[in-house]
Amino acid sequence: MSEPSILVVDDEQIMQEVLYDLLGGEGYSVDTAGSGEQAMEMFSVNEYDLVILDVMLPGENGIKTLDRVKRLNPDQPVIVITAYASVENAIEAMKKGADEYITKPFKNDEVLLLVQRGIERYKLLLENRNLRRALRKRYSFDNIIGRNPRMLEVFDLISLVAPTRSTILITGESGTGKELAAKAIHAHSPRASRPFVTVNSGSMPPDLLESNLFGHMRGSFTGAVSNKKGLFEIADTGTIFFDEIGNIGLDTQAKLLRVMQDKQFMRLGGTDDVQVDVRILAATNSDLKKLVEEGRFREDLYYRLNVIRVDLPPLRERKNDILLLANHFVEKYCHENDRKIAGLSPEFLTSIIEYNWPGNVRELENIIERAVVLSRGDVIDGTLVPEYIGTPQRAASAAVNIPPGGINFKEAASNFESGLIAKALEITGGVQKRAAELLNLKPSTLNEMIKRLGIRN
Supply the CATH classification number for the domain 144-313.
3.40.50.300
SS3 at position 359: coil
Does domain 319-453 fall under CATH 3.40.50.300? My reply is: no
Same fold, 5-135 and 144-313: yes
CA distances from residue 300 to 167, 171, 285, 292 in whole angstroms, order as listed:
14, 18, 19, 9
Question: What pLDDT, on a 0 to 100 scale, did the predictor assign at position 87?
Answer: 65
Question: What pLDDT, on a 0 to 100 scale, did the predictor assign at position 360?
Answer: 95
What's the fold here for domain 5-135?
A: Rossmann fold (3.40.50)
Residues of the chain with pLDDT under 70: 1, 84-87, 90, 128-140, 202-203, 219, 225, 390-405, 409, 412-413, 429, 440, 457
Where exactly are the structural domains of the chain? 5-135, 144-313, 319-453
Q: State residue 230 phi and psi, 5-degree precision.
A: -95, 180
Question: What pLDDT, on a 0 to 100 scale, did the predictor assign at position 395?
Answer: 45
Strands 144-145, 140-141: pairing kind? antiparallel
Question: What pLDDT, on a 0 to 100 scale, did the predictor assign at position 225?
Answer: 67
Question: What pLDDT, on a 0 to 100 scale, did the predictor assign at position 84?
Answer: 61
Q: What is the DSSP letter of 372?
A: H
> Where is 103: in which H helix or E strand?
strand 100-104
Question: What pLDDT, on a 0 to 100 scale, did the predictor assign at position 396?
Answer: 46
Q: How many Å apart are CA 54 and CA 84, to the nearest integer?
A: 13
Region of 214 on the Ramachandran plot (φ > 0 left; ψ -120 to 50 alpha; else beta) = alpha
SS3 at position 339: coil
Question: What pLDDT, on a 0 to 100 scale, did the predictor assign at position 418?
Answer: 78
Stated pTM of the model: 0.60
